[in-house]
Amino acid sequence: MIVEDSAVVRHLLSHIVSRDPRLQLVAAIPSAEEALAEITRVRPDVISMDIRLPGMDGLEATRRIMAEHPTPIVVIADAVEEGGLRISMNALRAGALTVVEKPLGPSREGWERAAEGICTQLFIMSQVPVIRRRAGGLGAPRSAPQLVFPLPTPSQPALVGIGASTGGPPALARVLGALPADFPVPVLVVQHMGAPFMEGFAAWLDGLVAPRVTVAQDRTLPRAGHVYVAPGDRHLGITAGGLMQVSEAPPVGGQRPAADVLFQTMARNLGPRGMGILLTGMGEDGARGLTALRNAGGLTLAEDETTAVVYGMPAAAARLGGVSSLLPLDLIGPRLLKAAGSPETGARTK
């Protein structure tokens, strides 16, 4: 199902979807209200959602759909519009799976160039099982937390690295939202997301959590009380001298930035002084790096299947023996506070 108010864009999007052999167009709807009325009739496997809609916007539509008719949602958004980007990020928090950049302007050429990426995202997300969302944005846990090969807790880490992909923005907001503004350890984040969205993503996250969130800069020293997000289409790692390293090295496992790069540099240069966390995501990025970090003596956590939107990345790390503990999302922040020796007083959000 396509939900898009512009008749021109709706036609272009319908065209590229209809000609993709992996996809079948069941409806092209101009408003959220009509989409909600039609969803029970057409029962789509995935929804392409515009954000700027007349009447009910895409954010509220996402909330309603995830509460009433849980369906994978891909947000198609203009990355250069700040207000639209903020709504898009909040739509991810409400249950949308990913955000894809809308080509600039309603030109056929722009949409033809973007067709493969948009259709691939729609096809991949159509395979993701979703669950009904409660007000907090996460479905109810499906089982008890599980421990895998528990290890003694090392001394306070010097650096925390977090990797996430599909479902990552709201998960990161939940984990980082548990931290106080003076959290004593710097945090580096790799989130798979289109390059044009990364500045806005960092700004959105900065408005939700107490620590300062910025995009990482090459050859700078990470500071306590700060969270550094990998720039779009750039790897993020840590050097032997403790400086952040932003690089244009080739993609690893098809990803740039790659969580594997972050965790592997932490294993090599920090060893037991590094702490790694792998959250929800499709594929296996981060699994090998997290295993290397654990083998180097670092504490490694991964999100449990009970809360992960997509259990691919954490599951891959667990299979390789790279996870010290699998925890539901709401327990990862408190565990991080404990490892850093920070009191669990509840973080003050901005």
Q: CA-CA distance, 315 to 318, in Å (whole number)?
A: 5
Radius of gyration of the chain (CA): 20
- Report strand pairing: 274-278 vs 244-247: unpaired
The answer to whether the CB of 202 falls within 8 A of the CB of 212 is no
Cross-strand pairs, 111: none
Q: Is 14 a catalytic residue?
A: no
The answer to whether the CB of 13 falls within 8 A of the CB of 2 is yes
């306590």: which residue's tokens? 224
Q: Is 206 a catalytic residue?
A: no
Whether a cis peptide bond, with omega within 30° of 0, leads into 257 is yes
Task: Write out the two tokens for 59.
Answer: 């954010």
The answer to whether the CB of 141 falls within 8 A of the CB of 259 is no
Catalytic residue (one of 260, 285, 304, 342): 285
- Report strand pairing: 235-238 vs 244-247: antiparallel
Q: Is 165 a catalytic residue?
A: yes
325 Rama sector, left if φ>0, alpha if ψ -120 to 50, beta otherwise: beta
C-alpha torsion sign, points 167, 146, 255, 271: positive
The answer to whether the CB of 318 falls within 8 A of the CB of 148 is yes
CB atoms within 10 A of CB 52: 16
The answer to whether the CB of 90 falls within 8 A of the CB of 63 is no
Cross-strand pairs, 252: 255
Number of DSSP helices (H) and strands (E) in the chain, helices first = 11, 14
**Residues sharing a CB contact under 8 Å with residue 168, sequence separation 6 or more, in sequence order:** 191, 192, 193, 279, 280, 281
Q: CA-CA distance, 62 to 39, in Å (whole number)?
A: 12
Catalytic residue (one of 48, 57, 88, 165): 165
Catalytic residue (one of 192, 324, 325, 342): 192
**Residues sharing a CB contact under 8 Å with residue 132, sequence separation 6 or more, in sequence order:** 66, 67, 70, 139
Enzyme catalytic residues: 165, 192, 285
